[in-house]
Amino acid sequence: MKINDNVIAEMIEQARRDAPLETCGYLLGTDDTVTENYWMENIDHSAEHFSFAPKDQFAALKYARQKGLRILANWHSHPASPSRPSQEDLRLANDPNIRYAILSLADGHVVLNSFRILKGEVVEKEQHYPL
């Protein structure tokens, strides 16, 4: 999956703005290229986990359909931990058709990886930032 540079910049800005809480959203695009970040409220308001607001999920689906886009990934930030899925992330990753992206701000270093997760196991990892 390719994530356009402007989308990565927007994700970093969002994660920094919402820190120390986790932030989240969908990555939308066509084929295998992410062209838009769709912010969604983390209704858990937590620094250690997130849940999408259902109203935001429905709005994102509607928006994507109207624009001819697909949800390629869901993403969230890890303000103080590495860019890798936690046990909870693995347990909750139940859609084998999308990737799961995690943007870490740990120790002042931005790292963005995405993962394909099947049956609670990482089966593929891609690094998107830094390259």
Note the pTM of the prediction, 2 decimals.
0.95
The full DSSP string for 35-86 is EEEEEE-BTT--SS---B-HHHHHHHHHHHHHHT-EEEEEEEEESSS-SS--
**In the predicted model, what is the mean pLDDT of the chain?**
97
Write down the pLDDT at residue 131.
Answer: 83
- Confidence category of residue 13, pLDDT binned at 50, 70, 90: very high
Q: Tens digits of per-residue pLDDT, 45-89?
A: 999 999 999 999 999 999 999 999 999 999 999 999 999 999 999
Q: Is the peptide bond before 96 cis (omega within 30 degrees of 0)?
A: no
